[in-house]
């Protein structure tokens, strides 16, 4: 079967900086493909090349079988994009924005009304459609942008950080819209995100990018399984001391000192937990609390990128082993 | 068909935005009012040009000035669109860059024309001899002038990233074009310095203002060049600017 998206050695440089390095990915038809990575990993640059906004420095890519450089018009017609940053005209109403999009994408005038009504219904914005966009909340704008991306029935929909900066209720809402879309429409989606829960919930397959390269690619379940190990988090003020105490213990695969404690990736967490507590007590280390859990996608991410993701505003999620900022627009 | 629909859509957007911005419409009255009433009345006592009063003389110049300032300044909307992300929506749409440019050009030109027509209304209220017939003759000339000037603004906007620099650079273009055009004083004849005459004849806007004066003042004005020569110069200017503008919009990073 022909792939929805295929890239071959796709590369993009900005002056001396290489944002995307010889990227080879392929996305199957009908799947949701998650592109994960820290800020500046090259996710948005990759999407921009696939959407024909940026020209590749070298390498090729096809979207829906069309070359992104030579057949850019065909690519544009066959894709929908929800950009990372807002891209609506806030002086127009929601409906006016949608009509404008329908006209730009050559939707037949006779079909426009019904298509617009149906996408408005999908994102539950029928009541507010005739209000100016500037009166919309952040979540409503995002929903309208998703609706807009669907008017011309694209075969591939790009969602660049679709829920960034939104509250948990709105995120949940948008996720269920995305899940609903996937069931009801024959559509391939490419999703970039910083949020591990989002990637885990929505994606069929995930590629983790760092420094412009794919460092791991598989289904979320398989990626978690590959880590093979439970995570024990010990909250203590003497994390580094504890780390040297338990170092060398069999079954401890990795130890990371994180903010306010020690994070251990281990085999057989249940059996190991009492021994760790005992070792701490023997060495006079006071433990505030301990917890045990199975690995999640955040652990996978940390494992491959060696540092935790930084969310908006630069707040740290977990310990950051190396802070390197390479923000690319 | 796609392209024409795209152009129409972009045109319609500009018009809707313009008509919803009441502050812009009201403020568009103010500048020509200041020039015609204060400047025009004050100098009327001192200056008369041939049989014309000074106010009559500068009226076509102020029509031209309004077109010049509004047209070039509308380029700022491209920077706003870029800043607020809307430009991306247009740039990834499956229509050619020529259509994107044309849609913007037609929309902005319509805005500028509305401003220009408002100056006529103002002129009539101030007792300057204008009538619908004169307006009818002036409109095609105004439109021709507007295309080139709007293109200049769009070209500047496609190279400039920030709103602040746009304002600065536009002033460097607007002001010399305005002062060296004969909008406020004659740029040919005895007593006009030689350098000024040369500078004015290099300024495409001089021909535009003189063409406007020819159609608005009729027989009481002695044109610098025959009307068709002036219109030809303006047309060449338009074509050059539209070509550069389409190229500037078509650049893909």
Residue A318 has pLDDT above 70, yes or no: no
B residues 16-45 lying closer than 8 A (beta carbon) to A:
16-17, 20-21
Complex confidence, ipTM: 0.84
CA neighbor of A158 nearest in space, from A61, A210, A213, A84: A84
Delimit the domains of chain B by residue range.
2-250
One-character DSSP codes across B126-138: TT----HHHHHHH
Which of B1, B85, B94 minimises the CB distance to A76?
Answer: B94
Q: Say whether residue B83 is in contact with chain A using an 8 A CB cutoff.
A: no
Per-residue confidence at A309, pLDDT binned at 50, 70, 90?
low
Q: Say whether residue B1 is in contact with chain A using an 8 A CB cutoff.
A: yes
Diameter over CA atoms, chain A: 79
Return averaged pLDDT per consecutive 10 residues of chain B, 253 residues in all.
Answer: 90 92 81 87 80 87 93 91 87 89 94 92 85 90 95 93 90 93 85 89 94 88 89 96 90 65
**What would the two tokens of residue B64 be?**
């031209």
Long-range contact list for A120-125, CB < 8 A, 24+ apart?
Answer: A120/A94, A120/A95, A120/A147, A122/A147, A122/A150, A122/A177, A122/A180, A122/A181, A123/A147, A123/A177, A125/A94
CATH for A230-293, options being 3.40.50.1400, 1.10.10.10, 3.30.70.100, 3.40.640.10 = 3.30.70.100
Q: By CA distance, what is B8's nearest residue in A?
A: A103
User: How many angstroms separate the CA atoms of A99 and A97, rounded?
Assistant: 6
User: How many angstroms separate the CA atoms of A134 and A41, rounded?
Assistant: 32
Residue A310 has pLDDT above 80, yes or no: no
**What would the two tokens of residue B71 be?**
């047209």
Which of B5, B13, B253 minimises the CB distance to A106?
Answer: B5
For chain A, report the end-to-end CA distance as a whole number of angstroms. 34
The answer to whether the Cβ–Cβ distance between A89 and B17 falls below 8 Å is yes
* Phi and psi torsions of B197, nearest 5°: -60, -45
Are A187 and A154 spatial neighbours (Cβ–Cβ below 8 Å)?
yes
The answer to whether the Cβ–Cβ distance between B13 and A87 falls below 8 Å is no
The answer to whether the Cβ–Cβ distance between A104 and B88 falls below 8 Å is no
Q: Say whether residue A19 is in contact with chain B using an 8 A CB cutoff.
A: no
**Average pLDDT for A305-317:** 49
**What would the two tokens of residue B114 be?**
């509305």
Q: Which class would CATH give A5-222?
A: alpha beta
Q: Which of B7, B9, B23, B92 to mutate to test the interface with A (most CBs of A within 10 A)?
A: B92
Q: Cα separations (Å) of B210 from A119, A229, B6, B60?
A: 54, 84, 35, 8
Residue A302 vs residue B139, higher pLDDT: B139
Per-residue confidence at A260, pLDDT binned at 50, 70, 90?
confident
The answer to whether the Cβ–Cβ distance between B93 and A76 falls below 8 Å is yes
Which is it for strands A252-258 and A261-266: parallel, antiparallel or unpaired? Answer: antiparallel
Residue A96 has pLDDT above 90, yes or no: yes
Q: Say whether residue B251 is in contact with chain A using an 8 A CB cutoff.
A: no
Residue A6 has pLDDT above 70, yes or no: yes
As a three-state string, the secondary structure of A207-221 is: EEEECCEEEEEECHH
Q: What is the CA radius of gyration of chain A?
A: 23
CA dihedral B143, B145, B147, B152 (to 10 degrees): -160
Question: What is the pLDDT at residue B252?
Answer: 61
Residue A193 has pLDDT above 50, yes or no: yes
Helices B204-217 and B227-250: crossing angle in degrees, nearest 10, is 130
CA neighbor of B111 nearest in space, from B144, B136, B74: B74
User: How many angstroms separate the CA atoms of B206 and A266, rounded?
Assistant: 82
User: How many angstroms separate the CA atoms of A161 and A191, rounded?
Assistant: 7
One-character DSSP codes across B223-252: -SS-HHHHHHHHHHHHHHHHHHHHHHHH--
Q: Say whether residue A328 is in contact with chain B using an 8 A CB cutoff.
A: no
B residues 214-243 lying closer than 8 A (beta carbon) to A:
none
The answer to whether the Cβ–Cβ distance between A86 and B90 falls below 8 Å is no
The answer to whether the Cβ–Cβ distance between A89 and B13 falls below 8 Å is yes
Interface size A-B, in CB pairs within 8 Å, comes to 68
When the pLDDT of each residue in chain A is averaged and rounded to a whole number, the result is 84
Long-range contact list for A220-228, CB < 8 A, 24+ apart?
Answer: A220/A34, A220/A297, A223/A297, A223/A300, A224/A294, A224/A295, A224/A296, A224/A297, A224/A299, A224/A300, A226/A300, A227/A265, A227/A295, A227/A299, A227/A300, A227/A303, A228/A267
**Average pLDDT for A121-130:** 90
**Average pLDDT for A42-69:** 91
Alpha helical stretches, state H, B21-131: 22-33, 40-44, 54-74, 76-83, 86-91, 97-125
CA neighbor of B144 nearest in space, from B214, B232, B60: B232
Query: Which chain B positions have a beta carbon within 8 Å of A92's beta carbon?
Result: 13, 16-17
Enclosing H/E stretch for A19: strand A17-23
**What would the two tokens of residue A103 be?**
């006209």
Are A306 and A292 spatial neighbours (Cβ–Cβ below 8 Å)?
no
Helices A138-150 and A168-184: crossing angle in degrees, nearest 10, is 10
As a three-state string, the secondary structure of A152-202 is: CCCCEEEEECCCCCCCHHHHHHHHHHHHHHHHHCCCEEEEEECCHHHHHHH
Q: By CA distance, what is A54's nearest residue in B?
A: B253
A residues 209-248 lying closer than 8 A (beta carbon) to B:
none
Q: Say whether residue B89 is in contact with chain A using an 8 A CB cutoff.
A: yes
Delimit the domains of chain A by residue range.
5-222, 230-293
Are B184 and B60 spatial neighbours (Cβ–Cβ below 8 Å)?
no
Q: Which of B81, B89, B90, B250 to mutate to test the interface with A (most CBs of A within 10 A)?
A: B89
The answer to whether the Cβ–Cβ distance between A89 and B252 falls below 8 Å is no
Q: By CA distance, what is B81's nearest residue in A?
A: A89
A residues 90-129 lying closer than 8 A (beta carbon) to B:
90-92, 96, 99-101, 103-106
Query: Which chain A positions have a beta carbon within 8 Å of B18's beta carbon?
Result: none
């Amino acid at each position: 079967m022909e792939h929805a998206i295929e890239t071959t050695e796709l590369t993009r440089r900005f002056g001396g900086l290489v944002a995307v390095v010889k990227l080879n990915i392929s996305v199957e038809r009908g799947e949701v493909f998650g592109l994960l990575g820290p800020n500046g990993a090259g996710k948005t640059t990759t999407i921009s090349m696939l959407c024909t906004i940026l020209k590749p420095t070298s390498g090729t890519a096809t979207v829906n079988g069309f070359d992104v450089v030579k057949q850019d018009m065909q690519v544009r017609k066959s894709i929908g994009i929800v950009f990372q940053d807002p891209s609506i005209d806030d002086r127009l109403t929601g409906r006016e924005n949608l009509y404008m999009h329908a006209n730009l994408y050559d939707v037949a005038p006779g079909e426009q009304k019904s298509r617009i009504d149906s996408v408005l219904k999908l994102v539950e914005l029928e009541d507010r459609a005739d209000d100016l966009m500037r009166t919309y909340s952040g979540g409503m704008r995002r929903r309208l942008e998703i609706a807009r991306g669907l008017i011309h029935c694209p075969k591939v929909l790009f969602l660049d950080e679709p829920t960034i900066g939104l509250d948990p209720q709105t995120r949940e809402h948008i996720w269920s819209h995305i899940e609903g879309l996937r069931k009801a429409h024959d559509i391939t989606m490419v999703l970039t995100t910083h949020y591990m829960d989002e990637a885990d919930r929505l994606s069929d397959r995930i590629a983790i990018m760092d420094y412009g390269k794919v460092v791991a690619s598989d289904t979320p379940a398989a990626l978690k399984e590959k880590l093979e190990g439970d995570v024990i988090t010990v909250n203590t003020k003497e994390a580094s001391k504890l780390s040297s105490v338990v170092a060398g213990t069999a079954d401890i695969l990795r130890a990371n000192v994180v903010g306010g404690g020690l994070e251990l990736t281990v085999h057989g967490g249940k059996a190991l937990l009492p021994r760790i507590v005992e070792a701490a007590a023997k060495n006079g280390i006071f433990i505030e609390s301990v917890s045990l859990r199975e690995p999640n996608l955040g652990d996978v991410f940390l494992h491959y990128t060696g540092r935790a993701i930084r969310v908006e505003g630069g707040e740290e999620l977990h310990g950051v082993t190396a802070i390197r900022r390479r923000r690319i627009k | 068909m796609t392209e024409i629909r795209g152009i129409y859509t972009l045109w319609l957007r500009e018009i809707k935005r313009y008509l919803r911005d009441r502050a812009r419409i009201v403020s568009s009255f103010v500048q020509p009012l200041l020039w015609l009433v204060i400047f025009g009345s004050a100098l009327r006592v001192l200056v008369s040009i041939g049989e014309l009063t000074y106010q009559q003389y500068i009226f076509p110049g102020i029509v031209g000035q309004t077109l010049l300032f509004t047209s070039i300044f509308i380029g700022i909307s491209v920077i706003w669109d870029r800043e607020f992300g809307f430009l991306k929506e247009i740039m990834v749409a499956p229509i050619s860059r020529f259509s994107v440019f044309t849609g913007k050009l037609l929309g902005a030109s319509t805005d500028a024309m509305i401003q220009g027509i408002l100056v006529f209304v103002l002129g009539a209220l101030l007792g300057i001899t204008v009538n619908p017939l004169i307006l009818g003759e002036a409109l095609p000339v105004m439109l021709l002038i507007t295309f080139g000037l709007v293109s200049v603004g769009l070209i500047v906007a496609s190279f400039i990233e920030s709103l602040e620099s746009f304002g600065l650079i536009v002033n460097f273009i607007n002001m010399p074009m305005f002062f060296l055009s004969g909008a406020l004083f004659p740029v040919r004849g005895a007593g006009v310095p030689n350098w000024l005459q040369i500078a004015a004849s290099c300024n495409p806007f001089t021909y535009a203002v003189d063409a406007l004066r020819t159609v608005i003042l009729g027989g009481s004005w002695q044109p610098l060049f025959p009307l068709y020569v002036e219109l030809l110069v303006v047309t060449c200017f338009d074509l050059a600017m539209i070509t550069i503008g389409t190229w500037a919009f078509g650049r893909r990073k």
